[in-house]
Amino acid sequence: MARTTLYLVRHGEQGPDSAGGLSPLGCEQADQLGKRLSAVSFSAIHHSPVIRAAQTAEIAGGHLARVSRHACDFVTDRTPAPSAERRGRYPDRWLPWLDGVPSDERDEDAVALRAAVDHFGVTGEQDRNELLITHNFVIGWFVRHVLDAPEWRWIGLNHANCAITIVRWDSDRPPTLVSFNDTGHL
């Protein structure tokens, strides 16, 4: 039975500057994250191209010997928003907020996020552990998918900076949520 285990981590706390880098606390969170995960044998670190995620990967990756890391568009920051045809699948109370999502952040009908789940949520010939350093809504989408929750249920799944969520795919059963928003290392 092959197994894929994804460690989903929200980037460290963002600093106050407009460049989007980590705050001093965010750097400390990333360091603690790396220490916590240092015993895990990862095949790769995939991080969002956004600077706060890249910095988190750099700091945490310093504790993960010889694990390759790279910017990955599958885990970039995006907000799933329904198309006109799917608006009825979302509670009315969320529609005005979703209508205000800027076009450059908008992932209509979660096309990109569905592709991310399809890309990472597969098993192969061997067990593998992968670290995805990403953003709150991306993690919410993965959790919603694993729990087979309604399409809109990613809303309200708030993830702390540098907390760890673990999801697992086994070759012979549906995906599993192993842990959510674990902050024990912080």
Q: CATH no. for residue 30?
A: 3.40.50.1240
Do residues 53 and 133 touch, judged by C-beta distance below 8 A?
yes
pTM above 0.85, yes or no: yes
Instruction: Specify the amino acid at residue 41.
Output: S
pLDDT at 32 over 80: yes
Please tell me the predicted confidence (pLDDT) of residue 65: 83
Strands 173-182 and 164-170: antiparallel
Its domain, for residue 67, covers 3-107+119-182
Look over the chain and give the mean of its residue pLDDT values, rounded to a whole number. 96
> Does residue 114 lie in a domain region?
no
> Does residue 112 lie in a domain region?
no
Phi, psi of 67 (to 5 degrees): -95, 125
Residue identified by tokens 């993965």 is 142
| Spatial separation of the C-alpha atoms in residues 177 and 98, rounded to whole Å | 26
| Spatial separation of the C-alpha atoms in residues 151 and 92, rounded to whole Å | 14
The band of 18, judged by pLDDT with boundaries at 50, 70 and 90, is low
The total number of structural domains in the chain stands at 1
Please state the rounded mean pLDDT for residues 74-101: 96
| Spatial separation of the C-alpha atoms in residues 147 and 144, rounded to whole Å | 5
Please tell me the predicted confidence (pLDDT) of residue 111: 98
